[in-house]
């Protein structure tokens, strides 16, 4: 295995929320990082500027789209590890524009895999999938208890043996890519790893109503703006601080002797669950004032509860979340209060 300082690493979507945190940590550890990002989403240009200012030539930022195979091939040259994070990330957007959702998530991933398998030395490919590949999980009994839903018979959360059941165009596109990544590992002997992720939050997240709900709620709390809730607000997720996710990425890439060809459910786990109503209550305590809330109809594809079992990741490559959810939310609020967190669309 290459020494860390010798590694050249490609991060697609590397100026996004998760990608910028990962790129920064890789650079901090001595890796040479190439970022491929189309810089189209809100906040990514701020993140790119931050990476350039903090790490200079150690991070090479290239504006380009994973839908263009030649762009991906060029960006992948010399990479020993590819973290494929680029994607269309909102269920609502996939419903209104399923073709673009497919082209970015499914075709974009195929382009990354094709570029990887043509390199002289096959790189490790880490792919960020989603819990949405499990669909509505209607076979499980769910109970409303106070201000939250809970699984009646699954205290440890969903493990990787759950049957796949893609719901929404987003679930289909991410699920198709998920399976392509797994099969390229089998057919072409690429060292691939799939992370089926729950809700990630933390600094450098420019959340909105459709995606990045923890940051969206936190920003609204700071600005004393109202929050719309779709459904009854009791829906539960296991939230994971972005720094913990970045550690999981790096550990999985370092331990391909056990992780290659594997799928891992990655989230905060049962110890870090929160409902929408509960998070709003936590935010009210942290910011010191009430937050106005209005309720609306459920949105398609929304799960009443999703909680990851992270036991496989702990067992196979020694990963566990470390940042408590309230501490993580405090860190997010602190960052959202800084000048660099001011969102522009430039």
Q: Please check whether residue 346 lies inside any domain of the structure.
A: no
Judged against a pLDDT cut of 90, whether residue 300 lies above it is answered with no
Report d(CA 131, CA 138) in Å as an integer.
14
**Secondary structure (DSSP) of 150-214:** EESS-TT-B-TTSPP---HHHHHHHHHHHHHHHHHHHHS---EEEEEE-EEE-TT----SSS-HH
Say which CATH number the domain at 237 has. 3.40.50.720
Q: Which of 209 and 165 is assigned the larger pLDDT? A: 165
CB 90 within 8 Å of CB 210: yes
Task: With CA atoms as reference, report the closest residue to 203 among 14, 70, 104, 331.
Answer: 331
pLDDT digits (tens, 9 = 90+) for 125-147: 999 999 999 998 989 999 999 99
Judged against a pLDDT cut of 70, whether residue 346 lies above it is answered with no
Cα 198 to Cα 160, 272, 336, distances in angstroms:
13, 11, 22
Residue 300: CB atoms within 10 Å: 13
User: The tokens of 182 are what?
Assistant: 């797994």
Judged against a pLDDT cut of 90, whether residue 292 lies above it is answered with yes
- 42 pLDDT tier (thresholds 50, 70, 90): confident
What count of Cα atoms within 13 Å lies in the side-chain half-sphere of residue 120? 2
Average pLDDT, the chain: 94
What count of Cα atoms within 13 Å lies in the side-chain half-sphere of residue 176? 17
Q: What is the pLDDT of residue 340?
A: 75
Q: List the domain range (segments joined by +) for residue 331.
A: 4-341
pLDDT digits (tens, 9 = 90+) for 303-339: 899 999 999 999 999 999 999 999 999 999 999 998 7
Report d(CA 60, CA 84) in Å as an integer.
16
Q: Please check whether residue 182 lies inside any domain of the structure.
A: yes
Q: Please check whether residue 68 lies inside any domain of the structure.
A: yes
Q: Please check whether residue 295 lies inside any domain of the structure.
A: yes
Task: Name the pTM for this structure.
Answer: 0.94
CB 274 within 8 Å of CB 283: no
Segment 168-176 shows an average pLDDT of 95
Q: Please check whether residue 212 lies inside any domain of the structure.
A: yes
Number of domains in the chain: 1
Residues annotated catalytic, as ranges: 170
Report d(CA 129, CA 175) in Å as an integer.
7
**Range from 69-73, 138-142, 258-262 carrying the lowest mean pLDDT:** 138-142
Judged against a pLDDT cut of 60, whether residue 4 lies above it is answered with no
Percent of the chain at pLDDT exceeding 70: 96
Q: Please check whether residue 211 lies inside any domain of the structure.
A: yes
- 301 pLDDT tier (thresholds 50, 70, 90): low
Q: What is the pLDDT of residue 282?
A: 97
């Amino acid at each position: 295995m290459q020494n860390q300082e010798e590694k050249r690493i490609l991060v697609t979507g590397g100026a996004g929320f998760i990608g910028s945190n990962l790129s920064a940590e890789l650079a901090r550890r001595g890796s040479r990082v190439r970022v491929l990002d189309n810089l189209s989403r809100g906040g990514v240009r701020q993140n790119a500027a931050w990476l350039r200012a903090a790490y200079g030539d150690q991070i090479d930022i290239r504006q380009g789209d994973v839908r263009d195979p030649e762009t991906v091939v060029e960006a992948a040259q010399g990479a020993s590890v590819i973290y494929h994070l680029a994607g269309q990330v909102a269920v609502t957007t996939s419903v209104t524009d399923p073709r673009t959702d497919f082209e970015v998530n499914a075709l974009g991933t195929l382009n990354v895999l094709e570029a990887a398998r043509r390199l002289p030395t096959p790189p490790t490919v880490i792919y960020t999938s989603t819990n949405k590949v499990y669909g509505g999980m209607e076979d499980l009994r769910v109970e409303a208890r106070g201000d939250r839903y809970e699984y009646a018979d699954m205290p440890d959360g969903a493990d990787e043996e759950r049957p796949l059941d893609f719901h929404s165009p987003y679930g289909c596109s991410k699920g198709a890519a998920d399976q392509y990544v797994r099969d390229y590992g089998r057919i072409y002997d690429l060292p691939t790893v799939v992370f089926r992720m729950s809700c990630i939050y933390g600094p450098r997240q420019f959340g909105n109503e459709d995606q990045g709900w923890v940051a969206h709620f936190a920003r609204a709390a700071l600005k004393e703006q109202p929050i719309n809730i779709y459904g009854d607000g009791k829906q539960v997720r296991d939230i994971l601080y972005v720094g913990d996710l970045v550690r999981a990425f790096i550990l999985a890439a370092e331990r391909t002797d056990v992780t290659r060809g594997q799928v891992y459910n990655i989230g905060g786990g049962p110890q870090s669950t929160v409902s929408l109503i509960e998070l709003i209550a936590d935010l009210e305590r942290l910011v010191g004032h009430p937050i106005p809330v209005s309720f609306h109809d459920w949105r398609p594809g929304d799960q009443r509860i999703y909680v990851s079992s992270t036991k496989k990741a702990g067992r196979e490559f020694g990963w566990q979340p470390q940042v408590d959810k309230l501490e993580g939310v405090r860190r997010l609020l602190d960052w959202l209060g800084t000048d660099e967190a001011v969102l522009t669309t430039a």
